[in-house]
Amino acid sequence: MNTLMDVLRHRPGWVEVKDEGEWDFYWCDVSWLRENFDHTYMDEHVRISHFRNHYELTRKNYMVKNLKRFRKQLEREAGKLEAAKCDFFPKTFELPSEYHLFVEEFRKNPGITWIMKPVARSQGKGIFLFRRLKDIMDWRKDTRNSDDQKDDIPVENYVAQRYIENPYLIGGRKFDLRVYVLVMSYIPLRAWLYRDGFARFSNTRFTLNSIDDQYVHLTNVAVQKTSPDYHPKKGSKWMLQRFRQYLASKHGPQAVETLFRDMDNIFIKSLQSVQKVIISDKHCFELYGYDILIDQDLKPWLLEVNASPSLTASSQEDYELKTCLLEDTLHVVDMEARLTGREKRVGGFDLMWNDGPVSRDEGPPDLSGMGNFVTNTHLGCVNDRKKQLRQLFCSLQVQKKASN
């Protein structure tokens, strides 16, 4: 179910451009961007769905490099306490370039589990877990000696990352969270957080005794749907509202508030880490898919940020979420010029950063000590959206039937 095409084709007043006609809005893929962006003239009003060098945040190695640099900058300028707010990603090394640093760290902590991820692939491809240096040495040997690796073909880069061995489990199964952040500008930074998202579960109970079983350790839908016991209609997702309610019933509302506030910090700090390196072109916006893992201490960890989060629906509920997400993204992008520029909420999006933190309260925020400051985020709070979701879904279905 292609939610993107459904939403674009049924948006009032929008017409799909065929072949090489002139266009005003392009939901492009990153390969088009790489090949065409620098050679394409765009009028003032034109919008495209990626920043020119989005990979500074969305490639695993660049993301970590920028976060490490930003943490050092914060330590220099604001002290260790402020820098510690960036301690939300696991210890990570880029291979093969940081291989010797990695080996040094590996030998300090024998027996712990590490995870290897190719920096530029998605959907769980190429990922494996290991505990022995021999496994990584075999991999390194393969990359050096492969007949396919001629001088003109670069070795594929990986990151070796300390595996989080104590994930929070629900029903004995591991999960991660997919959260959507829409960035309209980097200079100044203007970012919106979507209220809904989902938890993606593995189909198999968690154990560290079988590190080769991808159905235990990888929550990607592309991986899980190949599992023998995957239920195609039911899928393996919870909406964030259900997840938040579950945590509140187990740990109380205060613990949940703290967790979600820590997640807000991840979104802002990660965007700030690339603010000065991303080319902030006025024609560009980007809908990022953040992948967050929660551990048993209710600490959130940033796993990666996706430049092209999947917009294909895996279930009825997934279709409703993603069609509304896209509708609301187009409302914020505002090709029709309906917004005043003072909105704090548009559909399911809340403005969380507008060249500074945005308060839930009306009027300018009092930042003198930030004591009573509450950020304008409502992740997992979507009660009043359910009716709109259903109405939008029904209208799309009616329009599809009519066009058929």
Helix axes 253-273, 60-78, angle to 10 degrees: 100
Q: Could you tell me the pLDDT band of residue 372, with boundaries at 50, 70 and 90? A: low
Same domain, yes or no, for 237 and 350? yes
Same domain, yes or no, for 174 and 267? yes
- Cα 44 from chain centre: 29
Domain closes at, from 163, 197, 218: 163
Amino acid of residue 272? Q
Residue 248 in domain: yes
DSSP 282-326: TTB-EEEEEEEEEBTTS-EEEEEEESS---B-SSHHHHHHHHHHH
Q: Domain of 174: which CATH number?
A: 3.30.470.20
Same domain, yes or no, for 143 and 277? no
The model's pLDDT over 258-283, given as tens digits with 9 standing for 90+, comes to 999 999 999 999 999 999 999 989 99
Same domain, yes or no, for 175 and 320? yes
Interatomic CA distance for residues 354 and 297, integer angstroms:
31
What is the pLDDT averaged over residues 20-34?
88
Task: Tell me the two tokens of residue 298.
Answer: 């209710």
Residue 227 in domain: yes
Q: Domain of 132: which CATH number?
A: 3.30.1490
Residue 123 pLDDT: 59
Same domain, yes or no, for 217 and 328? yes
Nearest to 57 by CA among 389, 320, 280: 280
* Segment holding 333, helix H or strand E: helix 316-333
Residue 152 pLDDT: 45
Report yes or no on whether pTM surpasses 0.75.
Answer: yes
Same domain, yes or no, for 255 and 306? yes
For residue 107, give its domain range. 91-147+154-163
Residue 71 in domain: no
Interatomic CA distance for residues 366 and 387, integer angstroms:
35
Nearest to 305 by CA among 158, 147, 173, 178: 178
The model's pLDDT over 293-307, given as tens digits with 9 standing for 90+, comes to 999 999 999 999 999
Same domain, yes or no, for 343 and 393? yes
Average pLDDT, the chain: 84
Residue 356 in domain: yes
Does residue 365 have a pLDDT over 60? no
Same domain, yes or no, for 114 and 222? no
Residue 131 pLDDT: 85
Interatomic CA distance for residues 50 and 33, integer angstroms:
8
What is the domain count for the chain?
2
- Residue 37 gets which letter from DSSP? G
Residue 84 in domain: no
Residue 83 in domain: no
The model's pLDDT over 78-133, given as tens digits with 9 standing for 90+, comes to 999 999 999 999 999 998 899 999 999 999 988 899 988 888 766 566 788 888 88
Residue 180 in domain: yes
The neighbouring-strand residues paired with 173 are 170, 205
Same domain, yes or no, for 345 and 358? yes
Residue 142 pLDDT: 60
Domain closes at, from 128, 163, 198: 163
Q: Could you tell me the pLDDT band of residue 202, with boundaries at 50, 70 and 90? A: confident
Same domain, yes or no, for 192 and 209? yes
Residue 268 in domain: yes
Same domain, yes or no, for 133 and 241? no
What is the pLDDT averaged over residues 155-167?
87
Domain closes at, from 134, 163, 192: 163
Same domain, yes or no, for 134 and 158? yes
Does residue 367 have a pLDDT over 90? no
Amino acid of residue 19? D
